[in-house]
């Protein structure tokens, strides 16, 4: 969580841009809603520079050199050298430069060795990071294109959807149920709604939390979609103005803490031992001789080559891991990657093929019915948010069944995007005569909003018996490994002009669709090898119990004890921690519950890795010792991760861990032989 101190005048910086109506804003700032031309964008990029905050720009060579020169150990030696100037040059006759030259050579050698290794390794890491650079969608020359975030310029029209990173400070021009996570700036865990026209007055404008038409660089879209214009970039953004007061990212890893503690211990030991040696020798020898001997002891104690060995081994490890399809974004994470003893992962795509196929479309009695597929197709085809594998599978199956005509016959009227609280998505479509609200989502959540059922065109009230039968059919499909989603609709909505979550009620249940996502053939052997390597695999998923249990049993994960999100919510940290020792599968978890499980595992002394690629994985990726994602992940997941896999396969991860363990042993041998 960020720790921030507001040091900018919010009303002055954003007041006019926030409070102006959409039309006034467009006229006032001469906004081209069709986007910039490539030539105009290129001119602005040359004029204003890249969209990079000063604190996050790549370091220059002299930054690395100064850091190497003034390391904690070198500072001690430079201090000793200063004293020697006084004793061996100023006080001595004739002056002696021997000791000073020896220390100068050691400091110079240590500085240049560390500088070259650190500079080279960070250059290599930067090249690797560029392979998985985060992009954003903008309109250029009237077309939507993907460009790197750093190439965003003032006036660019940006298209946002669920999972998008906010690339700069933006003014919202169009929005549909847009909710943004601002915890990196404000510390607030709740998503904030953003509007086209502000709902606050100038008197209420005090902090960035009040700005309801402005999206800030460094935040991310939780749900909804929007079209925005860039109003500030780089250091002119709010993030850029207060970057020195914002702590972004993870707390220090156990590796970083350990290195710091070792360094402090050695320096304390030296500061204590050196005066003792000096005092003991001063009884029998001259002050100069005793001091020289004490200085020699201090030099011997100082592990000059330790930083060099660490940076060298980490950088070489990063390069070798890249050959194993594992990209290291943060060098310090390599040690945690190798020391990891618990791997938390989602089920979809990691344990399964992530090639979802729509297998069944059934009415409320479990009979195949194309009407169910039609409504699911309309929902998936016309939704404008982040289209997932489920939507792709529905659209593909619909097109196979000749539903291409519906894409032109129907038009999208409105949309209520998916979020992780409702666990459903709605679209409003019309064929020119009537409007339909079509909703699909988790079975229990859909049942909660339905009061009627439709069976072969006949509508009747939903009863407990019908609900129980639906749940039984759904559970039976789940046991066969199928993921089930319910579909419902509402027709009497011609009088409604603006739709929202409150309209998802009194709906008519149509049936459900079943998807098959079979387990990977390689998953079982990978999990066995991970277990042999001392890494326990824990599954954290939002899916239901039956499907998760079926998949986990097939890949060899112990499923005797399974905890649900509802059970996790009721448990105290202490009680949950006890259950964590014997539980490997957690189902129907919210993003916050996933992050809580990861945090507790980490606090109990484990080195925890988390593998995820979705919007809901970002908190857990940040909470873990080492966040692992894939190059096909959503922007916020890639940005939060320490390590990127070029294939979503546990064998790729296993290869990376194995390479890291080899690297640790080689580093130990180098250090042992050097001492």
User: pLDDT (tens digit, 9 = 90+) per residue, 597-652?
Assistant: 998 998 888 889 898 877 667 778 878 888 888 776 766 677 777 888 777 667 77
Domain membership of residue 467 (yes or no) is: yes
One domain for residues 97 and 237: yes
- Give the span between the Cα atoms of 76 and 82, in whole angstroms: 10
Domain membership of residue 126 (yes or no) is: yes
CATH number for the domain spanning 644: value is: 3.40.50.1000
One domain for residues 527 and 477: no
One domain for residues 89 and 205: yes
One domain for residues 181 and 62: yes
- Give the span between the Cα atoms of 485 and 509, in whole angstroms: 12
Catalytic residue chosen out of the listed positions 346, 414, 517, 649: 346
Domain membership of residue 154 (yes or no) is: yes
CATH number for the domain spanning 232: value is: 2.70.150.10
User: pLDDT (tens digit, 9 = 90+) per residue, 273-322?
Assistant: 878 888 888 877 777 777 777 777 776 766 655 655 666 666 666 667 76
One domain for residues 499 and 611: no
Q: Count of alpha carbons within 13 Å of 616, Cβ hemisphere only?
A: 20
173 or 652, which is more confident?
A: 173
For residues 600-619, one letter each, b for 16 or more C-beta atoms within 10 angstroms of the residue's C-beta and e for the rest, the string is: bbbeeebbbbbbbbbbbbbb
Tell me what percent of the residues of the chain surpass a pLDDT of 70. Answer: 79
One domain for residues 29 and 168: yes
Domain limits for position 396: 357-516
Would residue 204 show up in a list of annotated catalytic residues for this protein? no
Alpha carbon 454 to chain centroid, angstroms: 42
What was the pLDDT predicted at 423?
80
What was the pLDDT predicted at 123?
63
CATH number for the domain spanning 367: value is: 3.40.1110.10
Domain membership of residue 273 (yes or no) is: no
Confidence of residue 227 (pLDDT cuts 50, 70, 90): very high
The mean of the pLDDT values for the chain is: 79
One domain for residues 125 and 219: yes
One domain for residues 387 and 505: yes
- Give the span between the Cα atoms of 611 and 628, in whole angstroms: 5
Of 248, 272, 293, the domain-final residue: 248
Domain membership of residue 310 (yes or no) is: no
Domain membership of residue 270 (yes or no) is: no
Alpha carbon 279 to chain centroid, angstroms: 56
What was the pLDDT predicted at 78?
80
113 or 627, which is more confident?
A: 627
Confidence of residue 518 (pLDDT cuts 50, 70, 90): confident
Of 494, 516, 538, the domain-final residue: 516
What's the angle, vertex CA 569, arms to CA 563 and CA 575, rounded to 5?
70
Domain membership of residue 615 (yes or no) is: yes
One domain for residues 240 and 340: no
Would you state the torsion angle of the CA atoms of residues 588, 592, 597, 599, taken in this order, to the nearest 10 degrees? 170
List Cα–Cα distances, 301 to 73, 282, 298, 433, 584, in angstroms: 10, 20, 5, 86, 46
How many distinct structural domains can be found in the chain? 3
Two structure tokens written together for 661: 């363990």
Q: What is the pTM of this model?
A: 0.59
- pLDDT for 507 beyond 90: yes
- pLDDT for 225 beyond 70: yes
One domain for residues 436 and 529: no
What was the pLDDT predicted at 173?
93
Of 248, 269, 294, the domain-final residue: 248
How do 585-587 and 192-194 pair as beta strands?
unpaired
- DSSP symbols for 41-85: HHHHHHHH--S--GGGSPPPHHHHHHHHHT-HHHHHHHHHHHHHI
One domain for residues 531 and 656: yes
What was the pLDDT predicted at 248?
46
One domain for residues 501 and 403: yes
Domain membership of residue 289 (yes or no) is: no
Please state, as a whole number, how many other Cβ atoms lie within 10 Å of the Cβ of residue 495.
Answer: 6
């Amino acid at each position: 969580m960020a720790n921030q101190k507001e040091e900018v005048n919010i009303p002055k910086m954003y007041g006019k841009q926030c409070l102006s109506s959409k039309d006034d804003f467009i006229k006032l700032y001469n906004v081209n809603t069709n986007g910039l031309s490539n030539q105009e964008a290129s001119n602005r990029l040359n004029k204003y520079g890249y969209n990079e905050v000063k604190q996050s720009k790549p370091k220059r060579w002299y930054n690395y050199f100064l850091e190497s020169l003034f390391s904690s150990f070198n500072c001690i030696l430079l201090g000793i050298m200063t004293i020697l100037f006084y004793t061996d040059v100023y006080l001595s006759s004739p002056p002696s430069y021997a000791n000073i030259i020896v220390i100068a050579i050691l400091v110079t050698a240590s500085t240049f060795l560390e500088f070259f290794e650190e500079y080279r390794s960070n250059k290599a890491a930067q090249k690797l990071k560029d392979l998985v650079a985060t992009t954003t969608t903008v309109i250029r020359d009237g077309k939507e294109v993907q460009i790197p975030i750093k190439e965003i310029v003032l006036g660019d029209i940006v298209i946002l959807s669920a999972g998008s990173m906010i690339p700069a400070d933006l003014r919202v021009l169009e929005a549909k149920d847009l909710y943004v996570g601002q915890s990196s700036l404000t510390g607030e865990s709740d998503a904030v709604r953003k509007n086209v026209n502000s709902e606050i007055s100038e008197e209420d404008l005090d902090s960035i939390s009040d700005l309801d038409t402005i999206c800030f660089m460094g935040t991310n879209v939780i749900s909804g979609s929007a079209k925005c214009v860039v109003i500030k970039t780089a250091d002119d953004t709010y993030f850029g103005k207060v970057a020195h007061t914002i702590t972004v990212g993870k707390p220090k890893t156990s590796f970083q803490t350990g290195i710091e503690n070792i360094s402090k211990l050695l320096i304390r030991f030296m500061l204590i031992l050196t005066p003792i040696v000096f005092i003991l020798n001063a009884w029998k020898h001259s002050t100069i001789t005793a001091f020289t001997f004490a200085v020699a002891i201090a030099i011997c104690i100082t592990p000059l080559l330790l930083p060099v060995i660490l940076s060298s081994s980490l950088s070489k490890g990063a390069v070798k891991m890249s050959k194993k399809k594992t990209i290291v974004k943060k060098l310090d994470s390599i040690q945690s990657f190798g020391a990891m003893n618990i791997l938390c992962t989602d089920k979809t795509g990691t344990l399964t093929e992530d090639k979802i196929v729509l297998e069944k479309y059934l009415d409320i009695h479990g009979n195949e019915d194309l009407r169910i597929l039609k409504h699911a197709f309309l929902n998936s085809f016309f939704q404008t948010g982040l289209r997932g594998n489920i939507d792709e599978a529905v659209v593909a199956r619909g097109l196979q069944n000749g539903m291409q005509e519906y894409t032109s016959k129907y038009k999208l009227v409105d949309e209520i995007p998916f979020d992780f609280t409702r666990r459903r998505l709605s679209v409003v479509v019309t064929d020119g005569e009537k409007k339909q609200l079509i909703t699909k989502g988790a079975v229990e959540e859909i049942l909660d909003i339905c009061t009627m059922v439709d069976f072969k065109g006949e509508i009747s009230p939903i009863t407990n018996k019908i609900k129980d039968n639906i749940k039984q059919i759904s559970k039976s499909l789940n046991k066969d490994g199928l993921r089930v989603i319910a579909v419902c609709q509402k027709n009497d909505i011609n009088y409604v002009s603006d739709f929202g979550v409150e309209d998802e009620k009194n709906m008519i249940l149509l049936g459900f669709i079943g998807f098959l996502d079979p387990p990977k053939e390689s998953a079982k052997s990978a999990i066995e090898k991970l277990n042999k390597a001392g890494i326990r695999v824990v599954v954290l998923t939002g899916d239901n119990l039956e499907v998760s249990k079926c998949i986990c049993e097939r890949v060899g994960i112990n499923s005797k004890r399974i905890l649900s999100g509802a059970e996790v919510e009721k448990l105290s940290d202490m009680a949950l921690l006890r259950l964590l020792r014997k539980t490997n599968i957690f189902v129907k978890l919210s993003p916050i519950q996933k992050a809580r499980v990861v945090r507790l595992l980490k606090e109990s002394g484990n080195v925890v890795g988390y593998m995820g690629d979705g919007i809901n994985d970002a908190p857990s990726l940040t909470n873990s010792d080492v966040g692992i994602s894939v190059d096909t992940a959503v922007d916020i997941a890639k940005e939060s991760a320490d390590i990127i896999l070029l294939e979503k396969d546990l064998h790729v991860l296993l290869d990376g861990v194995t390479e890291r363990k080899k690297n640790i042993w080689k580093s130990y041998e180098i250090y042992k032989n050097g001492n």
